[in-house]
Structure 1
Amino acid sequence: MNDCGKVYLVGAGPGDPSLITVRGMELLQRADVIVYDRLVHPDLLRYARPSASLVYCGKRPGHHTLPQEEINRILVKQATAGKQVVRLKGGDPGMFARVGEEAAHCARHAIPYEIVPGVTAGLAAPLYAGIPLTHRGTASSVAFVTGHGCGGEEPPSWGGLAEQVDTLVIYMGMSNLPQIRQSLLHHGRSPDTPVALIRWGTWKGRQETLSGTLGNIEEKVRQQKFASPAIIVVGEVVAYQKHLAWFEGGGSDTLNKEDDLEQGVMG
């Protein structure tokens, strides 16, 4: 009999705790160890058993509580000890969330694992802001791209994206917004192309949407000191936001400080 535990790589959804999947909720209720990210809503941790160990491994720009290698080590160590381990990742684990690296590390050490999808912020945040990513007669294609390369990765092909895709959804792009904007303009996107930045998407009392165009969005960001975490949406569908917005201002949340997310005890 194999006494090894198992690692569950679970998508927590984009923020609103009610958007977690039923499977994800069930695994949180059974977990011995929960290793969770910065953008995981703390209400989700209420599903944990009193005896569960909570390990915070949040990452913010310029500051990583735990390096990826240490996260990988914790997953294997706890599963080898026979624990049921939930690695709770904001959004969907397969969308710019490094799930492939963590799954591969488990596989190399013969640790059983399961990947549980979640609702990604690139889909949910625009809808909570009233922006459909496709719309008949306006947009029939959408691309999800990262605006922040790492480890020597090639940057996105902005030329192909600008010319061939109706709607662009850009993750982790705030710090590179000037370069992204300039690249899209250089490759033919009009300065009048609508743009929306959605900060803390789906979080009650925290979500903010800043709308503009490729021509003026950079200046608006400076004026309003708009900062990450934010999803960037570029395309004509953004114009529907003024008619379809339904969520912002619709409630309050007791969570007011990022530091409230950063409470976990290494078990």
Structure 2
Amino acid sequence: MKSTAKLTVVGAGPGDVELITLKALKAIASADVILYDALVNESLLEHASSKAELIFVGKRKGCYAYHQDQINELIVDRALRYGHVVRLKGGDPFVFGRGAEEIEYARDYAIEVAVVPGISSSIAVPAYQGIPVTKRHASESFWVITGTTRSHDISGDIALAAKSTATVVILMGMGKLSEIVQVFSKEGKSETAVAIIQDGTTPKEKVGIGTISTIEAIVEKKQLSSPAIIVIGEVVNQRVDLSGLYAKADFASLKTRSETY
């Protein structure tokens, strides 16, 4: 007999396989069916039951395995037929992840629902590069904005954010980079610092650092592309060299241990 029909929407984190919560791993392990996206580290699927059905429902290079209405129908079908469905999404499922939409759809069919938050790439990816999204005397707030709307236009919120002194983190914005540069340039911010981080927190990570006026040339030189995060603001200039800190920490640890003998 199948278990109670249930949907758990789970955040898989930004890419590094270890940046996932214990609660998320438990959900994956208990799933009868897992529907996973393109930005999910597939190593996480090793935690699934050998009996679980694994279905890729992501988008790669503009090609959809399933459209959203089809994913919604899959969730309901599999939950009613098999029991526990885990919808595994990159980052946090409630940050441009459409997790709320899927939960609402499932509830219409009296399916039990739950959500497991994930570490958002909007914060974690800059952090891995030593970039704080806020810092005293540099930024008192930050915007997280989708670069491309459902109608494939640049988000109007980017123009609003460009008028502020806040850090601006843009997801899904590489296709609109030229327009983003124009928006910030019109606000007199051609020398504002910019970081573009591709495949953040993964072994394939690539980074370009520049200003609004130079970032397009840097992207071309370094061949940066999606999936990438754009970080704009003074905090990019406040970037911490984490490799140096790790080296010092290791040295201090060795010194401490040597003094105990």
- In the superposition, the TM-score normalised over structure 1's length comes to 0.87
Q: Which moved more, 1:106-115 or 1:167-176?
A: 106-115
Structure 1 residues 85-164: aligned runs within 5 Å: 85-151=85-151, 155-164=155-164
CA distance in 1, matches of 2:153, 2:105: 21
Which residue of structure 2 aligns with residue 231 of structure 1? 229
What's the offset of the Cα at 1:121? 0.4
Could you say what secondary structure the match of 1:75 adopts?
helix
CA distance in 1, matches of 2:215, 2:42: 32
For the 8 Å contact 2:133–2:167, the answer to whether it is kept is yes
2:86 counterpart letter in structure 1? V
For the 8 Å contact 2:206–2:224, the answer to whether it is kept is no
CA distance in 1, matches of 2:201, 2:3: 40
Task: Identify which of 217, 220, 235 aligns with 1:219.
Answer: 217
2:212 counterpart letter in structure 1? L
Structure 1 residues 246 and 189 mapped into 2: Cα distance closer, same or farther (>3 Å)? farther
- 1:138-162 deviation line (CA, Å, top 9, x unaligned): 1111000000111477822333211
Percent identity among equivalent residues?
A: 38
Structure 1 residues 213 and 73 mapped into 2: Cα distance closer, same or farther (>3 Å)? same
Could you say what secondary structure the match of 1:114 adopts?
strand
Which residue of structure 2 aligns with residue 192 of structure 1? 191
CA distance in 1, matches of 2:204, 2:9: 27
CA distance in 2, matches of 1:36, 1:181: 33
CA distance in 2, matches of 1:245, 1:173: 26
2:37 counterpart letter in structure 1? D
CA distance in 1, matches of 2:122, 2:169: 6
- 1:12 matched to 2:12? The reply is yes
For the 8 Å contact 1:130–1:246, the answer to whether it is kept is no
CA distance in 2, matches of 1:55, 1:39: 14
Structure 1 residues 236 and 192 mapped into 2: Cα distance closer, same or farther (>3 Å)? same
CA distance in 2, matches of 1:152, 1:229: 16
Which residue of structure 1 aligns with residue 183 of structure 2? 183
Structure 1 residues 152 and 174 mapped into 2: Cα distance closer, same or farther (>3 Å)? closer
Give the number of the structure whose alpha-carbon radius of gyration is greater: 2
CA distance in 2, matches of 1:3, 1:226: 45
CA distance in 1, matches of 2:154, 2:128: 31
1:244 counterpart letter in structure 2? D
What's the offset of the Cα at 1:58? 1.4
For the 8 Å contact 1:131–1:244, the answer to whether it is kept is no
For the 8 Å contact 2:37–2:90, the answer to whether it is kept is yes
- 1:86-107 deviation line (CA, Å, top 9, x unaligned): 0000000000011121111112
CA distance in 2, matches of 1:178, 1:154: 10
Which residue of structure 1 aligns with residue 206 of structure 2? 208
CA distance in 2, matches of 1:48, 1:65: 21
Could you say what secondary structure the match of 1:196 adopts?
strand
1:206 counterpart letter in structure 2? K
2:201 counterpart letter in structure 1? T
Q: State the structure with bigger RCO (CA 8 A, min sep 6), 1 or 2.
A: 1
Structure 1 residues 240 and 152 mapped into 2: Cα distance closer, same or farther (>3 Å)? closer
- 1:36-69 deviation line (CA, Å, top 9, x unaligned): 0111111111100111110001112421111111
What's the offset of the Cα at 1:115? 1.1
CA distance in 1, matches of 2:165, 2:158: 10
For the 8 Å contact 2:3–2:83, the answer to whether it is kept is no
CA distance in 2, matches of 1:86, 1:98: 14
For the 8 Å contact 2:33–2:82, the answer to whether it is kept is no
Cα RMSD after superposing both structures: 1.9
- In the superposition, the TM-score normalised over structure 2's length comes to 0.88
For the 8 Å contact 2:154–2:179, the answer to whether it is kept is no
Task: Identify which of 243, 246, 252 aligns with 2:243.
Answer: 246
Matched length: 244
